[in-house]
Structure 1
Amino acid sequence: MRLRVGIVGLGTQWESRHLPALRALADRFEIRGICEQVAHRAQRVAAQLGVAAVDGFRALAARDDIDALLCLADQWYGATPILAACEHGKAVYSAISLPLDAGEGQALRSRVEAAGIAFMAELPRRFAPATVRLKELIATTLGPPRMLFCHRRIPLSPVSPSTPPRDPDTESRDLVELVDWCRYVVGTEPSSVVAVRHAEAPGAALDDYRMMSLDFTAEGPPGNGVLAQISCGYYMPRGWEEAVGFRPPPALQVVCADGIAFADLPASLVWFDTAGRHQESLESERPVGEHMLLQFHRRVTSLVRHMSGLDDTLAAMRIVQGAAESIASGHRVRL
């Protein structure tokens, strides 16, 4: 079954991830319309693909020849295209930022659930070949995780009209992605979080570094279960290419019961056990964009209702909010 889809938003991943994936999966997806806040860009891409440039996401969601909306980039109207899809019974693939406010996030979940639509949030770290292989190794060779170290160094971009400004919300969303990745690898929920920050300047709202430790201890005092340390730094100017690339930490280091693994996305994995070093290059695997869209297609066409990723994203948001409480109070926060 080919899904007839409408595109809402053409973001920075359109050329590199979403368009190649849709072309590779042309037997499963057919683009019928494009809505984008920059009208001339919508018209240009629509002309290239031979589809309609639609003026407004509500008009796109209301079309009878649309089965699903692919919300691929943040636009000025936020998450309202998801609500429009709910009104018209259209499935949603969402690569956009969901509301960070807990009440708004829960209200969105209730609307999706009441509408009975298939919903999938784009969580690329989960579907990266290195993560998929890591989960296999944990189940078969490395054993259960004991400690995780997840680091992300984000080069600062010069301020420009094409670059969205960095603000506390974008910093929190960066952390949400990393928190979800660690939750997925561990396979359980953390019970507490403690966090610290370093401001760009005294009294500034923006950080140049933020770190949190998630404790997955199920019972008893903290420190007796899996521990995940997550950090996100914004202290490297993009123009310092040599410094940015100097000895970068692995994106994820996982210490397991029977070995240790180092993962760099999308497709690099090095792991060690008693037999020594094992290096795997997974470039031949299906690209992550195709893999995620295939999962979405299965969810829409199956008879089982799915809200994949929405609950996971909201859970990660609650953890990041707990980290903010920890920073403000200087204490560990129970989740």
Structure 2
Amino acid sequence: MPAPAAIGVGVAGLGPDWPDRQRPALERLNGRVRIVAVHDAVPVRTRAAAEDLSRRSGGTTAAGGLWALARRPDVRAVLLGDPAWWGLAALDLLLRADKPVLLAGPIDPRDDRLDALAARAASAGTVVTPDLSLRFTPATLRLRELIATTLGAVHAIRVVAPLPAAHPLRDAYGQPVAAWRFAQWADWAAHLLPDGVREVVATADPAAGASSAQLRLDEGEKVTGEARGGRGAALTLASADDLAGDAAETKATVRCERGVATLSGASGLRYAVRGEPERVEDLSAERPGFDTLLTLFLRRAIGGLIPAPDLHDLGWAMALTRAAGAAAAGGEPIPISPPGGGRLRPR
């Protein structure tokens, strides 16, 4: 049988993650993906990227606009790599073209258009996959295996993570990078917890940069990643200079029913089942989380039914982020309803 034709992908928004994260992930799917067109808000970046991609693999066109890219018949899916100043208006336009979208760039949690866009995408059956790729890092996938087999259900999570470094493009567009990163970690934690988050407590607003918040399963309990304590997740994001120890790497401690696991970055994992010696695994040879997310998205884009994050998942992460901001501003816990119907908003 002949090999299936490569999927034509259009790339819109060439942000800081394009050269080191997004383009390499697409190139690792060589033969299955063909980048047919690119567009950026800055024309010189559009032309430079098209020329670079044409030298690498040939046949990439500099599209004259976002709508022109989306309407091309050879574009079967769109990677919205960085919405820049377009924000969710870019997703609004792409939904009108009825093309599957991988929403990879920073989105402002305070943008109230997300619910309506999620409803439109669901009604039209259009695939929109947000970048919640922390769910798919090698260490996280291995942790989920251990949760299902030896460690048991998650009781408490403690995450300490550095914020992304400053970047001229993000600064120029005023992108809410800190809040976006908090939303991604909130999704990661909520995805691991066995029950819905019921309450959010925060001492720093994610939109202001550094943040510290607890996502609680049981109202009134303090969350801790140690052997005892409440149930839920404690998230701390700060600049690398403000974090002690190895500030460049995320540390996550996950206390489970029968043991404790510690994740270091995307691929480091240490775990101990109660009464047994600690085990250490290096998963750096495994596929990066964004690559896994990209593969899931492309399979959905061509009609597959494999589960992947959607805009409702992103809406819940944004709701948790807004609740953290409200809790920090008001100095009071914010009750919140788990997803499962209705608008994803703090109640």
Per the normalisation by structure 2, the TM-score is 0.83
Report whether the alignment pairs 1:44 with 2:40. Answer: no
Whether contact under 8 Å (2:205, 2:328) holds in the other structure is: no
CA distance in 1: counterparts of 2:246 and 2:130, whole angstroms: 33
Q: Distance in 2 between matches of 1:263 and 1:319?
A: 22
Separation in structure 1 between the aligned mates of residue 253 and residue 260 of structure 2, nearest angstrom:
7
Residue in 1 that maps onto 2:254: 254
Query: What displacement does 1:316 show?
Result: 1.1
Q: Report the residue type matching 1:267 in the other structure.
A: S
Cross-structure match for 2:225? none
CA distance in 1, matches of 2:38, 2:246: 41
* One-letter identity of the residue aligned with 2:256: C
Report how far residue 117 of structure 1 moved. 1.1
Report the CA distance between 1:124 and its aligned residue. Answer: 2.0
Query: Which residue of structure 1 lines up, in the alignment, with residue 102 of structure 2?
Result: 93
Mark the CA change 1:266 to 1:109 in structure 2 (over 3 Å): closer, same or farther. same
- Aligned-partner SS, 2:14: coil
Distance, in Å, in 2 between the alignment partners of 1:290 and 1:155 is 19
Amino acid at match of 1:269: L
2:7 aligns with one of 3, 14, 28: 3
Larger mean CA deviation between 92-101 and 30-39 belongs to 92-101
Deviation, 1:118, is 1.3
Change (3 A) 1:301 1:130: same
**1:200-239 residue pairs with structure 2 within 5 A?**
206-207=208-209, 209-217=210-218, 222=221, 226-234=231-239, 236=241
What is the alpha-carbon distance in structure 1 between the residues aligned to residue 50 and residue 259 of structure 2? 50
User: Structure 1 residues 130, 92: closer, same or farther in 2, change over 3 A?
Assistant: same
Structural RMSD (CA): 2.7
- Check if 1:80 corresponds to 2:89: yes
Greater alpha carbon shift after TM alignment, 77-86 vs 139-148: 77-86
Alignment match, 1:275: 276
Match of 1:240 in 2: none
Q: What is the CA–CA distance in structure 1 between the aligned matches of 2:99 and 2:164, rounded to whole Å?
A: 37
Amino acid at match of 2:200: V
Residues 169 and 58 of structure 1: is their aligned pair in 2 closer, same or farther, counting only changes over 3 Å?
A: same
What are the residue-to-residue correspondences of 1:141-156 with 2, within 5 Å? 141-154=150-163
AA matched with 1:271: Y
Structure 1's unaligned 5+ residue stretches are: 200-204, 238-242
For residues 258-282 of structure 1, give each alpha carbon's deviation from its aligned partner in whole angstroms, at most 9, with x where no partner exists: 1111102211111112221111001
Deviation for aligned residue 1:172: 1.9
Within a 5 Å distance, the mapping from 1:26-175 to structure 2 comes to 26-50=30-54, 51-101=60-110, 103-154=112-163, 157=166, 161-164=168-171, 169-175=176-182
Give me the whole-angstrom Cα distance separating, in 2, the residues matched to 1:134 and 1:86.
35
SS at match of 2:200: strand
Gaps (5+ residues) in structure 2?
A: 55-59, 223-228, 337-347
CA deviation vs aligned residue, 1:127-183 (integer Å, no higher than 9, x gap): 1101100111111111111111011133764xx744526979433222111111101
8 Å CA contact 2:253–2:261 kept in 1: the answer is: yes
Rounded Cα–Cα distance in structure 2 between residues aligned with 1:179 and 1:155? 16
Distance 1:248 1:68, change over 3 A: closer
1:83, 1:111 within 8 Å by CA — same for their partners in 2? no
Per the TM alignment, residue 198 of structure 1 is displaced from its structure 2 partner at its CA by: 8.3
Q: Percent identity?
A: 27
Tell me what 1:16 maps to. Answer: 20
CA distance in structure 2 between the aligned counterparts of 1:60 and 1:306, rounded to whole angstroms: 27
Q: TM-score by structure 1 length?
A: 0.86
> Using a 3 Å threshold, how does the CA distance of structure 1 residues 212 and 104 change in structure 2: closer, same or farther?
same
CA distance in 2, matches of 1:246, 1:280: 19
> 2:189 aligned with 1:182, yes or no?
yes
Q: 1:216 to 1:27 in 2, by over 3 A?
A: same
Q: State how far apart, in whole Å, the 2-side matches of 1:315 and 1:28 are.
A: 32
Please state how far the C-alpha of 1:244 moved relative to its aligned partner.
Answer: 6.8
Aligned residue type for 2:182: L
Aligned match of 2:263: 263
Match of 1:331 in 2: 332
Find the aligned partners of 1:168 and 1:97 in 2 and give their Cα distance: 7
> Would you say the 8 A contact 1:192–1:216 is kept in 2?
yes
The separation in 2 between residues aligned to 1:244 and 1:226, in whole angstroms, is: 25
Match of residue 340 from structure 2 = none
Q: What secondary structure does 1:236 align onto? A: helix
